[in-house]
Structure 1
Amino acid sequence: MTAIDTAIRATAADIELIGVTKAYDAKTTVIPPINVALRPGEFTVVLGPSGCGKSTLLQMIAGLERVSGGKIVIGGREVQDLEPKHRGCAMVFQNYALYPHMTVAENMAYSLKVAGVSKADRAQRVGVVAKMVGLADFLPRKPGQLSGGQRQRVAIGRAIIREPGVLLFDEPLSNLDAQLRHDMRVELADLHRRIGATSVFVTHDQVEAMTLADRILILNKGLIEQFDTPKAIYHHPASVFVAKFIGAPPMNILAVTGDGSALRLADGQVVANYADKGSFQLGIRPEDIAVNAGGSIKAEIRYREDLGSHEILETNIADQNLRITMPFGAEIDTEQTLSLSFPRARLHLFDSETGRAIHNAFDDAKTAPTFVKEYQ
């Protein structure tokens, strides 16, 4: 472990947002009051669709956007009224924002130069960080002589060299091609294990979120839908929004009606036993559906998608779309009617009005439905 690794790990700070809100005018509230705590040394991914407020949230932490209300506490210190340079954060942008006339070494060392760090110390720290991000052989080059992935490494190195307690990433991989994005995910994960900085990473890409995060904070129109580990979010989504946003293909959501003994589709097919009455939304992952001759649920195949390692069947069930993931080589006749079973332990039930998940819906010992915690 280098001195820089040790310094960053020692300064890793917790982040607490207390009633933080952002509004541009009386009619335009981007982020309603939000309350969340990020642990020191944790890699948090803020995930959501375009326009959900995730970049705005990150910029408020960094100090690039003023909060309209509430408090931002970093390492026990209120920072919402401090300038960005006094917050102990470093940020990596989607746009690398490198100085084209400077070399890699000069770009990485610039913030140290402005801070009055001696030339010898700057050179020593640049050497350590360049080796850390795989740029030791590229220090004399200028940004125009680098690939996209290498330029992104320069931007990351420039942030790390300041030894920040908090690292902020605003969709840093979105300009890279698929292979480079994969490679950079691996490198970022390895880097985080080494330096242990509190990291907040904004993306709309669920693969980045699932592979990088200790915990994922999912935003929808400025509201937190769920904040949990990748595994918990995948297997126990807190809402229909989360269930449909996470997974490729996403969870199937079917409109069903409870008659007091079972949940039925619009055509009367029973999909599960259930004691409550009312309208619900039933969720099941495509890979959890069992295709077998003894299945009581019938579906018509509409389309078959061969992806090499597996196949995805697009089917119609009671005028609703249902996706099924099948292993490669499954013997399925596209003209046949499928017989399906929905394993009870793999089912998810959501309230039809709020879209929130109902806990223990299929636990036979339950006494009453319990809804997933609301964050706001």
Structure 2
Amino acid sequence: MYPIDRASRMAAANIRLDGVSKNYGPMIVIPKLDVEFRAGEFTVVLGPSGCGKSTLMQMIAGLERVSGGKIVIGGREVQDLEPKERGCAMVFQNYALYPHMTVFDNIAYSLKIAGFTKAERQARVEVVTKMLGLVEYLHRKPGQLSGGQRQRVAIGRAIVREPAVLLFDEPLSNLDALLRHDTRIELADLHRRIGATTVFVTHDQVEAMTLADRILILNKGRIEQYDTPKAIYHYPASVFVAKFIGSPPMNILRVVGDGSLLRLPDGHPVAECHLKGQFQLGIRPEDIAVDIGAGGTGLKAQVRYKEDLGSHSIIAADVAGEAVRIATPFGAETPDRKLLLLSFPSHRLHLFDAQTGKAISGAFSAATKEQK
């Protein structure tokens, strides 16, 4: 038998959804959706509650039937197959462990049902529990474990089958903040070691940004953007993405272009731009420069509140009637006054259509955008 990490890497399969849709009667949860998750990658499906991400996951796993379209895993159509026939393993939010079974029996149960011999089960469970740091808990039952340990047992039960696809449905939401951080590190390390195709559903942007090779952002069942974490953060495809990713999120301001300048509602110019019409202008809180000198000519910002987080501060302010958040550099001192002068570096600006919210490329000079 191959070690489990080698076996999983050999088995990794891509997932392709061709026109997949889901509806419950007249209610459309997911319109026709086309996307491919690459073999061996860690893909995070991210979005707010009710956007369809868990439904999408359950359709891949076979727990929900598709209303239309095809699901292809490793070149094989699976939309009409039972879950056990798809080569997927799933880790649930609530662990779903058998409370009367030991850790060993929970992990080995699927192997037993599949007809593996006792020696084969013992060998596989030994590899998995060493990988997950569970060896000393093999004879305990789930009620004798912490939340983090139970989650690792659930993961072990999934990977012991050496699946082609590993599915996670918000597996960290029941853990406290510190344990979520530690478990994220464990999951990232586990993926590097076994290399299985992984699809991870969450509403937590930190989990998405730290774990994903690629992030699929859903909004009302539709794809807003599918790209690397870095690309999504620095080049959001829409206002929805810009405001969903980032803490604090990107500032979005109403502006009007006159063919040479973009102006705020009060008429103050904020950037050079050759476009005319109404737009939405985006800038991340950490990209706003605060002028602490006297007699500056920047945008006037009325400070409403300042959160001192020790290493940096978050300032909430009003600019021309628009709410703006400013994140100061780590360790930087900010003046304790009610009126600040701000400047928006042009190479850090994003422009979006006022009606659709979609990003507009080429709004600012290529030379400045390349500085990003």
- Quote the offset at 1:330 in angstroms: 1.2
The equivalent of 2:7 in structure 1 is: 7
Which structure 1 residue ranges, 5 or more long, are not aligned?
Answer: 367-376
The residue correspondences of 1:190-339 to structure 2 (distance < 5 A) are: 190-292=189-291, 293=293, 294-327=296-329, 328-335=331-338, 337-339=339-341
2:361 to 359, 362, 365: 359
In 2 relative to 1, CA 143–289 (structure 1 residues): closer, same or farther, beyond 3 Å? same
Whole-angstrom CA distance in 1 between matches of 2:14 and 2:30? 21
- Structure 2 match to 1:369: none
Q: Which amino acid aligns with 1:23?
A: N
The one-letter code matched in structure 2 to 1:342 is: F
Task: After superposition, give the CA deviation of every residue in 1:279-313 in whole Å (9 maximum; x if it has no partner).
Answer: 00000000001112444211111111111110011
CA deviation map 1:310-335 (0-9, x unaligned): 00110101111000011335131232
Corresponding position: 1:349 with 2:348 = no
Pair 202,364 (structure 1): closer, same or farther in 2 beyond 3 Å: closer
Q: Tell me, in whole angstroms, the C-alpha distance in 1 between the residues paired with 2:140 and 2:161.
A: 21
CA pair 179-118 structure 1, distance change in 2 beyond 3 A = same
8 Å CA contact retained: 1:303, 1:315: yes
Could you tell me which residue of structure 2 aligns to residue 129 of structure 1? 128
1:36 paired to 2:38: no
Alignment check: 8 A CA contact 2:302 2:318 kept: yes
Q: Distance in 2 between matches of 1:196 and 1:20?
A: 26
Contact 2:12 2:164 (8 Å CA) reproduced: yes
Task: Report 1:99-110 matches (<5 A).
Answer: 99-110=98-109
Cα distance in 2 between the residues matched to 1:206 and 1:334 = 33
In the aligned structure 2, how far is the partner of 1:319 from the partner of 1:84?
A: 54
Aligned to 1:66: 65
Secondary structure (helix, strand or coil) at the match of 2:101 reads coil
Give the 3-state SS of the residue equivalent to 1:137 in structure 2: helix
Distance of aligned partners of 1:362 and 1:48 in 2 relative to their CA distance in 1, 3 Å threshold? same
* 2:163 is equivalent to residue 161 of structure 1: no
* Contact 1:304/1:334 (8 A) holds in 2: no
Whole-angstrom CA distance in 2 between matches of 1:206 and 1:279: 30
For the aligned residue pairs, the C-alpha RMSD in angstroms reads: 1.3
Shift of 1:364: 5.9
Q: Cα deviations across residues 204-254 of structure 1 (Å, max 9, x unaligned)? A: 000000000000000000000000000000000000000000000000000
Query: TM-score with structure 2 length normalisation?
Result: 0.96
Aligned length: 364
What is aligned with 1:374? none
Q: Which residue of 2 aligns with 1:371?
A: none
Deviations 1:146-203 (A, max 9, x none): 0000000000000000000100000000000000000000000000000000000000
Q: Residue 46 of structure 2 aligns with which residue?
A: 47
Report the more deviating stretch, 321-330 or 291-300. 291-300
Corresponding residue SS for 2:48: coil
TM-score (norm 1): 0.95
Q: Which residue of 2 aligns with 1:180?
A: 179
Select between 323-332 and 283-292 the one with higher mean Cα deviation: 323-332
| In structure 1, distance between residues paired with 2:67 and 2:240 | 27
1:124 Cα deviation after fit: 1.1
What's 1:21 paired with? 21
Aligned to 1:373: none
| Stretch moving more, 1-10 or 30-39 | 1-10
SS of the residue 2:136 aligns to:
coil
Distance across 2 between alignment mates of 1:160 and 1:88: 11
Q: Show the counterpart of 1:143.
A: 142
**Change over 3 Å in CA distance of 1:364–1:104 after alignment to 2:** closer
Q: 1:2 deviation in Å?
A: 6.4
**In 2, Cα distance between equivalents of 1:295 and 1:91:** 57
Structure 2: runs of 5+ lacking an equivalent: none
Aligned-partner SS, 2:81: coil
Q: Hey, what's the Cα distance between the residues in 2 that align with 1:365 and 1:181?
A: 41
Mapped to 2, the partners of 1:169 and 1:128 lie a distance apart of 21
| Secondary structure class of the residue paired with 1:359 | coil
Task: Determine the C-alpha separation between the residues in 2 that align with 1:152 and 1:295.
Answer: 55
